[in-house]
């Protein structure tokens, strides 16, 4: 299974923002929209906002995107 392209992620991201807001309630909708589905940026924001390790934030992001596809 190939990874989706950046353009595909951007297109799908607006639909996923609601689900992301449920998972990471400390993030605003505006912050999530600005990320445009960039997993590295999302990982960094989650790490910062929730004061967790980068590995844990990365795990959460991978799990989230796996469930959305």
- What is the domain count for the chain? 1
Q: What is the full per-residue pLDDT of the chain (69 aa) written as tens digits?
A: 555 666 666 677 888 899 999 999 999 999 999 998 899 999 999 999 999 999 999 999 999 989 986
**Token pair 């950046």 in the structure block, residue:** 6
Please say whether the beta carbons of 13 and 61 come within 8 A: no
In a domain, 1, yes or no: no
Record the pTM: 0.79
Of the candidates 26, 17, 68, the residue with the CA atom closest to the CA atom of residue 47: 26
CATH code, domain carrying 34: 1.10.1470.10
Please give the residue range of the domain that contains residue 58.
Answer: 6-68
- 37 touches 13 (CB < 8 A): yes
Residues 32, 57: Cα–Cα separation, whole Å: 15
């Amino acid at each position: 299974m190939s990874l989706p392209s950046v353009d595909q992620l951007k297109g799908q991201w607006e639909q996923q923002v609601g689900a992301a807001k449920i998972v990471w309630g400390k993030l605003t909708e505006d912050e999530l929209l600005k990320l445009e589905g960039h997993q590295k940026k999302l990982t960094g924001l989650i790490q910062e906002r929730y004061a967790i390790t980068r590995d844990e934030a990365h795990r959460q992001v991978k799990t989230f995107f796996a469930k959305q596809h």
